[in-house]
Amino acid sequence: MERWYKKVAVVTGASSGIGAATVKDLVEAGMQVIGLARRLDRLNDLKLDLGDDKCQQLTVIQCDVTSTESVNKVFNEIIQKFGGIDVLINNAGCVIKGQLCTMDTQDAEKVLQTNVMGTVRCTQLAFKSMKERSSNGHVIIINSIVGHNLFSSLPKPPISNIYAPSKHALVTIAEIYRQEFAGLKTQIKITNISPGLVDTEMVHEKVKEKYSDNMLSPNDVADAILYTLSTPPNVQVHEIIIKPLGELY
């Protein structure tokens, strides 16, 4: 991680779970970190948790990745203040229960706007900053195991609706980015990290009770992020799938 010392990392969905764990690890590694989320109060709590010696390395900004206006404003602010972006962790995600055949289409659109278009919006601006400065940057997408396998819930109807398709889209998007980054003659890396069940606020309490012995912690995923960032410049870890030991799917 030495080459990232004092470099700038942006983490979306930083207010809890994987995002918060990642922020702490990147700060510990000596990076200048910008944590983005809608819940500014939670971001401020995260900053306080770092203590007086580390809190100056974290800047927190309220941002809604479903809004082009919000993302543009925040990323312009980051670039003006810090000079550019070297690492982007696309972690913001959304899941809303319901069946795709009956749910409110506005809810389905919210999932897509967060999981897919939020990633696209943030990556475009981070990539522009990296390319303009000839930075050997790194873009990481926090995906899901359901982006690779659609698990049957029969005889009950599934409740993941458009969440799984949004994660399938990110698998293809990551490969498109890999080809585009290479085709545009950059040294920017792209990594897609797909964990199994993670103990975060997005997981319903009943699910946590049922699978309490077969869940990853947010720190497990943060460790994978640091691993991909620590690889030498000539190594690109394109895909990581992480499952908790004993997971049956």
Q: Please give the pLDDT value at position 165.
A: 95
The average pLDDT across 169-183 equals 98
Instruction: Name the residue with higher pLDDT: 232 or 209.
Output: 232
Q: pLDDT per residue over 61-91, tens digit each?
A: 999 999 999 999 999 999 999 999 999 999 9
Closest CA to 65 of 73, 55, 57: 73
User: Which string of b and e fits 177-215 if b means at least 16 CB within 10 Å?
Assistant: bbeebeeeebbbbbbbbbbbbbbbeeeeeeeeeebeeeb
- Give the number of other CB atoms < 10 A from CB of residue 138: 25
Yes or no: say if 167 and 155 are a contact pair by the CB < 8 Å rule.
Answer: no
Q: Does position 136 have pLDDT exceeding 90, yes or no?
A: yes
Q: How far is CA 59 from the centre of its chain?
A: 17
pLDDT at 135: 93
pLDDT digits (tens, 9 = 90+) for 7-49: 999 999 999 999 999 999 999 999 999 999 999 999 999 999 9
- Residue 55 above 80 pLDDT? yes
Asked if pLDDT for residue 212 goes beyond 90, the answer is no
Mean pLDDT of the 50-54 span: 87
pLDDT above 70 for 204: no
* Per-chain mean pLDDT for the chain: 92
In the predicted model, what is the mean pLDDT of residues 230-249?
89
Answer whether residue 248 shows pLDDT above 70: no
Determine how many CB atoms are found less than 10 A away from the CB of residue 124.
14
Residue 163 bears catalytic tag: yes
Q: With 90 as the cut, is the pLDDT of residue 56 above it?
A: yes
pLDDT of residue 208: 58
Active-site residue, selected from the candidate residues 5, 163, 177, 227: 163
* Percentage of the chain lying above the pLDDT 90 cut: 81
d(CA 116, CA 171): 10
So where are the chain's domains?
Answer: 2-240
Q: How many Cα atoms occupy the beta-carbon half-sphere of 84 within 13 Å?
A: 15
| Separation of alpha carbons 85 and 151, rounded Å | 37
CATH superfamily of 2-240: NAD(P)-binding Rossmann-like Domain (3.40.50.720)
3-state secondary structure labels for all residues of 11-77: ECCCCCHHHHHHHHHHHHCCCEEEEEECCHHHHHHHHHHCCCCCHHHEEEEECCCCCHHHHHHHHHH
* Per-residue confidence (pLDDT) for residue 173, from 0 to 100: 98
User: Using CA atoms, how far apart are residues 7 and 39, in angstroms rounded to an integer?
Assistant: 25
Which of 69, 82, 78 shows the shortest CA–CA distance to 14? Answer: 78
Report the distance separating Cα 84 and Cα 6, nearest Å.
12
The SS3 call for residue 247 is coil
Tell whether the model's pLDDT for residue 159 goes beyond 90. no
pLDDT value, residue 8 = 98
Ranked by mean pLDDT, the top range of 97-106, 110-119, 237-246 is 110-119
